[in-house]
Every structure is written in C-alpha cells, then in structure tokens.
Structure 1
Amino acid sequence: MATVQLWSGLEARALRGALRMSVRGFAEHLGVAVRTVSKWEANGAATEPRPDTQAILDTALARADAAAQVRFEVLLSEADGGRQRAGGPRTWDYESWTEDVDRAVAALGGQNFPLADSLLHRWLHRWSPHDLDDKGLYLFARSTTLVGDLKRDQGAVLGPLSAERSYAAARSVFTQLDIPRRVAQLDLSLAVVAEMSGKLDLAARRYETLAVDDRLSRRDQARARLWVGTALSKSGDHSYAARVMAAATRDFEELDEPDDWSVAHQKLALAHRGAGDITQALHFIGIARSTGTIAGPMQRVRLDTAHGHILLSDRATLDDGLTILDQAAKVAAQYGMSHQLRSIEDIRRTTYRQFADGDQGELNDQWPGRDHG
C-alpha cells in the first residue's frame, strides 16, 4: 500500500488525480475548503498542510482502492516537484527501498541469496548515484554494502563482481556523505576480505588499527580485536592469537553480547586446536555450541566446521569429525556457500595428509571413497 511520510501540495495533487476528482469534489471528499486545495496545488512542494489535515490525507489515501493507489504512485513518480533531483526517487520510492533493504538483511541472515540479490539490485539498477539526493545515496551505499556481504558469503571475494569491489564502492559513497562510522565499518569489511583472500599480515594490521578506532562502536572494536586473533591463528601464531581472542571475549561479556561471545569461543577453540591443546579446544567449542544462537545456516556451518576440524585432530574421533564435516558440507552446498565448501575440503585434505604418514590401510578403511588430493 502506498504511504506518504509528509504531505505537500505535490502529493495532494497526485492523490486528487488518482481519485479522478475535481478540485471541488476533492475538497468535499476531505472536508476542507476549495480554496485550500487550490492553494496546495498552486504552491506544490513548497506548501505543507497542517498536521490535522495531514492525517485526513493519510486516511483518504488508505481508503483508496488498489487501482487508485497505483495511479497515485505513478502520478507522484512522474511529477516534478523539485524536492528530489529530476528523475530520482520519490517519497514512496524511498519507503519501499528502505523496506526492501530490511528484507534483504533478513534474507542474507537465512542465506537466501537469490531473494537478497533480487531485492537489492531492483533498486541499484534503477538509478545512477548522480540522480540521488543524500537520502537516496545513503540507501544506495547500504544496498551496495549488503551486496558485498552477499558476495563475501558466497565466496566471491576478489574480482570485478566481488565483495571487495562492492565494499570499496559503498565506502566511497559514505565518505562523500561524511558518515565516519559507516566508512570505518567498510574498512573492517575490507580487512575481512583481505583475510579471506590469504593476506593475513595485511588483515592483522588493519584489524589492530580498527580495534582502537574511535569511529567504531565498542562492539565493532571488540570484533576487530577478535579478528586480529583469527588472522594470527591462521598464520600459525596460535598461542598469541588465543590471548588476543580471550581479551575480545571479555569485551563481549562486558558489552552483554551473547552471540559475539559465543562466536569468540568458537574461534578460541580453533586457536587451541592449532596450538595442539585438544582438551581446551573441545572445552571452548562445547561452550560455543551450547550458548550461541544459531541465527542461520551460515553460523551452523561455521560452528560444525570448527567442531569437525577439532575432532579430526585425534584419530579416535576421526569418524565423528568426518560425519560432522559432511553435514556441514551438505548445508553449505544447499545454500551456495562456496567459501565454506572450500574450507571444508581443505580441512579434509590436510587431515588425510597428516594421518597418511601413519597406517595408510587403516586410514583408507576410515575414509573410504574420498578424494585425498
């Protein structure tokens, strides 16, 4: 249903046209004077009805039938009221765009990539940034950021149609709009891209800088601190990584962020696995599994992948680890998480090579029919 945030003479004229009424008939329909309607239409976007009349216009639009509401939207989008740039979105466009951004966030949370892509690109393909005012540019940058999140979760990290390219484009717009917090959040996302593409030293340096960046909230600073540990662990410095992660975990507890606290335990578990302390690794992954909210398939896959990875560290729990990894791979394939699939396959190959130095026959019995690479 069409809605109007703030009525002016422009919207009032569009509503009269949509209802196919004369000036006199429209005035009688609203219960206002004919000269009032004439004044609205003469002044267009430069005049705003009184608050009580705004409510009357809201009611008239809400009670209009579906055909009239469609006509209203078309008339309003074609009108040249001067309040937005020529050819740019109208008020109702912005409201619909905002709703679709919210829907895209929910779709990404559930790894419904096709729906999120459709919701975002229906707006990004409609207008050039040159046609947008500040409100439109903000929505354009938010949508482009979410496209970056989508590409990242799909594993398209680098290249022309990648998370890196989308994040950089969104960062440029937020810089133009002078919104430092959003710029810093994009810097954090670009650091994640660097880590995912194997640039661990670069990622760690960026995380360290952002962990004390006043543009970010305390929660985002704690995330940056946690990801410093992730990059260190991936580069083999597991003991130091665990200490850094433990500090971030305490931050999440102080901030009362239970989901981030749980994710931190998952990463702590992997750092201890890398250091060879399987007992501690199992302890921390147990906390992560029992305390975190599984918000969507991505978190489930990450948690199962970490758990399976730890279990594969011991030949006695190899079968259990393989079973959990297989489950994670099925979910990742179902939702198109190619980066997660690659990680799972890398874990399988590394584990096989690790144990291949032992009893090859026994390993083949435990790992039948697999491509050991």
Structure 2
Amino acid sequence: MAAVIVWTGLEAKALRLACRKSVRDWAAILGMSVRAVTNWERLGAGTRPRPDTQAIFDTVLRQCDPEARMRFEALVAQQPGAPVLAEMQAGPRAWEYESWTEDIERAVLAAARQDFVFAGSLLERWRSRWPVTELDDRGLYLLARSTALVGDLRRDQGALLGPLSASASYAQARLLFTRLDIPRRTAQLDLSLAVVTEMSGQLGTAASRYSDLAGDVRLSARDRARAALWVGTALDKQGRHEQAIDITTTAIQVFENLGETEDWATGHQKLALAHRGARNLGEAVRLIEVARANTTGAAPMQDVRLTTAHGHILLSDHATAEEGTALLERAEAKAAQYGMTHQQRSIQGIRGRFQRLAPCLQ
C-alpha cells in the first residue's frame, strides 16, 4: 500500500475515479464547489490544493474500501512521475486488518446461507494479497481463519480431497495456527479434518480420531461433546447402532447441561438415525420430531440435513415410504439449489439403497 505525499489535480481526479463518483457527487462529498473540482482535474499536476483540502483527501483515502484503494493506486501508477506515492512498510495496514476482519464476519454469515460464491470471494481477495513472509502474527491469524473458512465452504460443496479441497485448506490452516501456538484452534482443525475423513467414507479412522478428540483438553467442552457425537455418527454408519445410541445419548446430555440448544437438537437428529438403524422406527420418528421442534430458523444446510434424516426414517417403513420419498426429493432439490453436492450424493445413496431393499420392507 502507499500514501500520498503531495496531492495534485492528478491524484484528486484518480481518487474520484477510484471511488466511481461523478464530478457533482464528488464535490458534494468533499464539501467543495463543482468548479473547484473541475479546475483541479483540468490543471492536473500543475495545481496543488490547499493544505486543509489535502487533509480532506487523506481522510477520504483512508476511508475507502480495499477495492477503491487498489483502483486509486493503479490509476496513479499509470501517471507520469508517480513519486507522489511513497512506499510504506510491507504487509497490511491497520485499516486493512479491520476490513479483513469485517469480511471474515461477512463470509461466516454468507456461508450460513450457503452463499458459497460470495463467501469465497470475500475470503480469497485477502488470502492471496500478501506473501506469508509479510504478515505479522495478526495477519497470520486472519489468514489462518480465512483458510479454515475456505475449508468449510469446500466441505459443504463436497470438495473433500485433492489440492483444492477442504482437507488441503484445513491442513494449511492447521499449520498456521500451530506456528502461532494456538492449541485450541489447532485442535479444532484436527476435528474438521476428522469430519472430512468420515465424509470420505473412512469410518473406522474417523471414529478413532473423534474418540481421541472427545477427551482432548485443548478443545472446549462443547467441541469435545461434538467430537463424541460424531463418534456415534461414525459408529452408526458402520452398523454399530447400539453403541452409537449410547454415545449419542451421553453427548446430548452434555449439550443440555451446557445450554447448547442447537447442538442438542442436532444430537436428537443423530440419535433418531441410530434408532432407525437399530430398527426402532417408532422411537426414531419421535426423536426426529423432537429435533424438528427444537430447530428454528434453520439455514439451508441444516434444513437439508434434517429433512434428509426425516425422509430416511420414513423411507424405512413401507407404510410411510411414500412420504419419505417426497421428503428426500424436497431435500435433494434444495441441496441442488445451493450447490451442496455431498448432500445430493448422500440422498441419492439413500434412495438407491431403499430401491434395492424395498422388497424386504413389504
């Protein structure tokens, strides 16, 4: 980034163009006359606004968003005699740290709505802006958080393995948090990597990793309970339903004690699926209704998962199979709408298994 040593008409015009304002609107923003703005731009390098006006330009430039600042620098760099710009220290400035933090928060909200494209654009424009060697600890922390969030986006989109995948992003973020010596964040990345392992079908390995993390003191009580819940999920997928029921029930009690309502409802969804696997269909239906009743304002991903679980349970009983099919179709359509390819594949797998087993349910 750069600072303006002396403002002339050239830099004044570049700033207006970078902010994408008309002459009239720009004059209103600066509190100047249209004639004054026109004169600066006409005279170019041959005029220097008064010191108080230069201070106004300094303030406006500081308040510009990152894209406008980059446009300004590009415009100035195209002008002859660019020495009006003085190189400053490498790495982000204070205002860039603030903007980066705000964009991370915006990306989290966008990801919750499954707006993957917008969330990704907010994160990627910062991740590649500076070499790692130019970042201090604060910059490395923001880079690590951004990279972990990119991992979440890729996981939700079903990109689990490979160079541009959730596992690659999580591994990169883990290295950064390890370098910063933040054990809790490192352990959270271990948990995220275990989730990818499970989603990739390596159920035994995932269950073992979850079990270790369920007792990992680096994690919060909530994260340890979530690890235990996912042990139950992995066991259920392996067909070890009774063990899954016991472990999931214990995790639900921890969530209740912690007052974690959302995790408590998710636990009931997982418990319902474990009972489905054990052929306790009446209990499975009761538990999925508890989960639905305690899930409010569900994001698209959460809604798809809950609807899929409900449909899966109903599909397991010939008397309710038609209703279950309808729910799965609805969940699949919503997954397709938001680009949740992993969820789509999961739903298609459920329907495929049902078609093969349908004669046994009659």
Q: How far 1:327 moved relative to its partner?
A: 0.6
* Other-structure match for 2:175: 172
CA distance, structure 2, for counterparts of residue 18 and residue 206 of structure 1: 59
- Is contact 2:151-2:170 (8 Å) kept? yes
RMSD: 2.7
Q: Which runs of 5+ in 1 are unaligned?
A: 1-10, 21-59, 360-373
Cα distance in 1 between the residues matched to 2:361 and 2:248: 34
**TM-score with structure 2 length normalisation?**
0.79
Report Cα offsets for 1:333-353 as digits up to 9, x if no partner. Answer: 000000000000000010111
Any idea what SS the aligned residue of 2:327 has? helix
Please identify runs of 4+ aligned residues in structure 1 that moved more than 4 A: 14-20, 63-76, 78-82
Which structure 2 segments of 5+ residues have no match?
10-54, 74-84
The partner residue of 1:201 within 204, 213, 221 is 204
TM alignment of 1:1-373, pairs within 5 A? 66=60, 69-70=63-64, 80=87, 82=89, 86=90, 88-356=91-359
Q: 1:333·1:341 contact (CA, 8 Å) conserved in 2? A: yes
1:294 Cα offset (Å): 3.6
When the two structures are superposed, what TM-score results if normalisation uses the length of structure 1?
Answer: 0.76
The CA deviation at 1:356 is 3.6
Q: Within 1, Cα distance between the matches of 2:4 and 2:286?
A: 64
C-alpha distance in structure 2 between counterparts of 1:209 and 1:96, whole Å: 37
Aligned length: 306
- Kindly state the Cα deviation for residue 295 of structure 1 after the two structures are TM-superposed: 3.2
Task: For residues 88-108 of structure 1, give each alpha carbon's deviation from its aligned partner in whole angstroms, at most 9, with x where no partner exists.
Answer: 111111111101000000000
- Partner of 1:220, secondary structure, is helix
Residue 18 of structure 1 and its aligned partner are, at CA, apart by 6.7
> How many angstroms does 1:128 deviate by?
1.9
Q: Which amino acid aligns with 1:136?
A: G
Given the superposition, is the C-alpha separation of residues 358 and 95 from structure 1 closer, same or farther in structure 2, using an over 3 Å criterion? closer
Give the partner amino acid of 1:172. Answer: L
**CA contact 1:73–1:92 (8 Å) conserved in 2:** no
On the 8 A contact 2:316/2:361 being kept in 1, the answer is no
Cα distance in 2 for residues equivalent to 1:254 and 1:306: 25
The residue identity in structure 2 corresponding to 1:173 is L
Q: Distance in 2 between matches of 1:226 and 1:299?
A: 16
Counterpart CA distance in 2 for 1:282 and 1:68 is 58
Distance (Å, rounded) in 1 between the aligned partners of 2:259 and 2:64: 46
- Partner Cα distance (1:93, 1:284) in 2: 48
In 2 relative to 1, CA 67–291 (structure 1 residues): closer, same or farther, beyond 3 Å? same
- CA drift of 1:209 comes to 0.7
Tell me, what secondary structure is at the counterpart of 2:142? helix
CA distance in 1, matches of 2:125, 2:237: 38
Paired residue for 1:369? none
